[in-house]
Structure 1
Amino acid sequence: MRLAFDVGRARIGVAACDEEAILCTPVETLYRDKRGTAHLDDVDDLVDEYGPMEIIVGLPKNMDGSEGVSARDSRAFARQVALRHRDIAVRLVDERLTTVSAHRALREAGRSTRSHKAVVDQVSAVLILELALEIEEQTGQPAGEQVSRKGPDGGHIRGLRR
């Protein structure tokens, strides 16, 4: 069982897959707490509920492969989650174009553009999770990059435990 997160400035889409990594489904949309960590508490609740063996966080790189503000934000979110759940692998997976693909899939399913906002982040999280599973199946290796739980000097960072 795995959970995936599509991290945005205002919302975080969440998706999950079954134990056999066959079916990926949308879970919910979390709303970012810009002044605190309430959204991380919501993540903790989902981790407790689903008991994932791995957490995938989308890394929104630019088309040229560089990283901007959104990628740095996703990295910070992934690191916070990794520090709060030390017994679960947290990986960042390149998610270029997943939001575009999610909007296209919703349009093709007959959803109005106005109704996309409510579910597009969840669909993006599903696409990120499907991509990670596909990469793992093709390469035999976990997708993306492992999130470090160590500080800049190589030492472990303490704190942020629930």
Structure 2
Amino acid sequence: MPEQRPDETGPVGERRVSRPAVPPSRPRSTPQEPVHHRTEQIDLRAGFPPVRHETAQIDLSGGLPGGLPIPPRRTRQGRRLGIDVGSVRVGVALSDPTGTLASPLETVPRARDESDLDRIAALVAEHEVTEVIVGEPRHLSGASGASAREARAYSRALAGRLGGVPVHLVDERLSTVSASGALRANGLDSRRQRSVIDQAAAVVILQAYLDAQQERS
């Protein structure tokens, strides 16, 4: 029998087998002190406190910060239709697509079956009009009479046929007088050309509106 030694795993003269060392135990980490964040107690029994929205007024008259120019105000593009409402005829004028210049378009006879309203609605669709301007005749004092009431009723009836196209009433106290003067200056007798003066009055109404819009923009 080969001689055995207590510190060996086999007979004398054979290779000694090493045993893995036992890893040391990890040191215990000491618990850190808890971190306390200071809070403020709010009493919400009466509801949340009011929120303040404060704004500061900035002067942009000299341009945007950094020298950026202020963009110009955009005006609505599209043709406008001007209307001079009469008891016998309706004068119609049309603007250019930029809404700058008014020109005579057509004279529509008034009809009991309101076919004149249908004709104007067809013109609005044909020329892709974005706004309709109806003259409201008033006295020089500014008071409204039967003609003004007729114009308001006509504009309401027309608006019901135009869907989303807006209809505006504008003061036209001197539109017919101005149209007559313009026709006489061009050598035309307005008394013999009633249909022409109706269109000319619509031009005066529409042009005054376009000029006012240009000044505002």
What are the Cα deviations for residues 23-78 of structure 1, in whole angstroms up to 9, with x where unaligned?
Answer: 21100100001x22111111121112111010000000111111111100100111
Counting aligned pairs with the same residue, the percent is 43
Which segments of 5 or more consecutive residues in structure 1 lack a partner in the other structure?
141-162
Superposition map of 1:14-29 within 5 A:
14-29=92-107
CA contact (8 A) 1:4 1:126 kept: yes
Corresponding position of 2:69? none
CA contact (8 A) 1:4 1:57 kept: yes
Corresponding position of 1:85? 162
Corresponding position of 2:200? 123
- Choose the corresponding residue for 2:108, options 3, 9, 30: 30
Which segments of 5 or more consecutive residues in structure 2 lack a partner in the other structure?
1-78
Counterpart secondary structure, 2:184 = helix
Aligned-residue RMSD, C-alpha: 1.1
Per the TM alignment, residue 21 of structure 1 is displaced from its structure 2 partner at its CA by: 1.6
Runs of 4 or more off by more than 2 Å in structure 1?
Answer: 112-116
Per the TM alignment, residue 10 of structure 1 is displaced from its structure 2 partner at its CA by: 0.4
CA contact (8 A) 2:137 2:173 kept: yes
Counterpart secondary structure, 2:193 = helix
Corresponding position of 2:89? 11
CA contact (8 A) 2:118 2:161 kept: no
Count how many residue pairs are aligned between Structure 1 and Structure 2.
139
Corresponding position of 2:118? 41
Per the TM alignment, residue 138 of structure 1 is displaced from its structure 2 partner at its CA by: 1.9
Relative contact order, higher structure (CA 8 A, sep 6+): 1
State the alpha-carbon separation in 1 of the partners of residues 157 and 202 from structure 2: 18
Per the TM alignment, residue 84 of structure 1 is displaced from its structure 2 partner at its CA by: 1.3
CA contact (8 A) 2:91 2:195 kept: no
State the alpha-carbon separation in 2 of the partners of residues 100 and 117 from structure 1: 13
Corresponding position of 2:40? none
What are the Cα deviations for residues 96-134 of structure 1, in whole angstroms up to 9, with x where unaligned?
Answer: 111011011101100124433120010000010000011
CA contact (8 A) 2:104 2:203 kept: yes
CA contact (8 A) 2:101 2:210 kept: no
Q: Which letter does structure 1 place at the counterpart of 2:134?
A: V
State the alpha-carbon separation in 2 of the partners of residues 113 and 83 from structure 1: 33
Q: What TM-score, normalized to structure 2?
A: 0.62
State the alpha-carbon separation in 1 of the partners of residues 197 and 190 from structure 2: 10
- Choose the corresponding residue for 2:187, options 110, 122, 129: 110
